[in-house]
Structure 1
């Protein structure tokens, strides 16, 4: 497992873009809120730590991870938005629903990024269990929200 070898909250920003004037949208899935709220807290704190202004961080909620793509598209369509961070959590269940949702979300977020030529970041956990999700939402493997925010910053400096 990749996160067993790397903490999601550890990062180094080399030659990073200054983000004081950048505007970020964070689209958060309400499903699995105990996890996604922690992802949001990590992303928000990292953006602030790296210089983003609180008034330039816009949060929008969507019902679940499947809706992240459309929420991201609505935000990416706004000229003032420089990057979109999508945060969600889809936990493996007993049916193929997990596979369909994960594939659709990954493809949808990719499509939005390409359509608008903006960073649209995939901060979606796809663990097997609730415990694994919490381990990656501020637990023993760090916080995927931190990693998503850093990815947005790095892409803005591309």
Structure 2
């Protein structure tokens, strides 16, 4: 018989951190608003949410890992927007941020949700921050809630 394990989309306990980049604030502000609203709608009171502002997306992994390793948060939701310019700079930033967040999540065992937009232009970013393509801030908050619940249900090595 197949066993299925899945997380719930309601959080009744634990604190959440949101790490958000100030760079491209027109976009990241919308991601942040949607993430906070989503947390609230899914049972996370405002006093259980800490928002950590960093200069840009490149700084997100260090702040996320520091928050995750503090023992104060059940999950960290990361929000940023890297918009392609005339050079390949965005490729280096995107790769470094993704790798840094994955490494931090594996190292700490704390869910770290990836809400970093990687877009070709500002219009595309705005569409993913509440426009035609939804809001990645909402999606990242939902992922954080679901993963927090899911990890409590997966048997560990001592659970047999």
TM-score by length of 2: 0.88
Give unmatched runs, 5+ long, in structure 2: 1-5, 151-160
Q: Is the Cα contact below 8 Å between 2:7 and 2:148 reproduced in 1?
A: no
Assess if the C-alpha contact under 8 Å between 2:82 and 2:117 holds in 1. yes
In structure 2, distance between residues paired with 1:118 and 1:15: 15
Matched, 1:29 2:21: yes
Aligned to 1:7: none
Aligned position for 1:5: none
Q: Which has the larger radius of gyration?
A: 2
Shift of 1:20: 2.2
**1:109-148 maps to which residues of 2 (within 5 A)?**
109-148=101-140
Question: Following TM superposition, by how much is the alpha carbon of 1:15 offset from its aligned partner in structure 2, in angstroms?
Answer: 5.1
Point out 4+ residue stretches in structure 1 off by more than 3 angstroms: none
The C-alpha deviation readout for 1:61-83, integer Å capped at 9, x for no partner, is 00000000001011111112100
Say what the alpha-carbon RMSD is for the aligned residues.
1.1
SS of 1:84's equivalent in the other structure is strand
Is 2:100 the partner of 1:100?
no
CA distance in 1, matches of 2:52, 2:76: 10
Q: Is 1:83 the equivalent of 2:52?
A: no
1:73 equivalent in alignment to 2:65: yes
Q: Across the two proteins, how many residue pairs are aligned to each other?
A: 145
After TM superposition, give the deviation of residue 131 of structure 1 in Å.
0.2
What is the distance in 1 between the residues matched to 2:7 and 2:127? Answer: 30
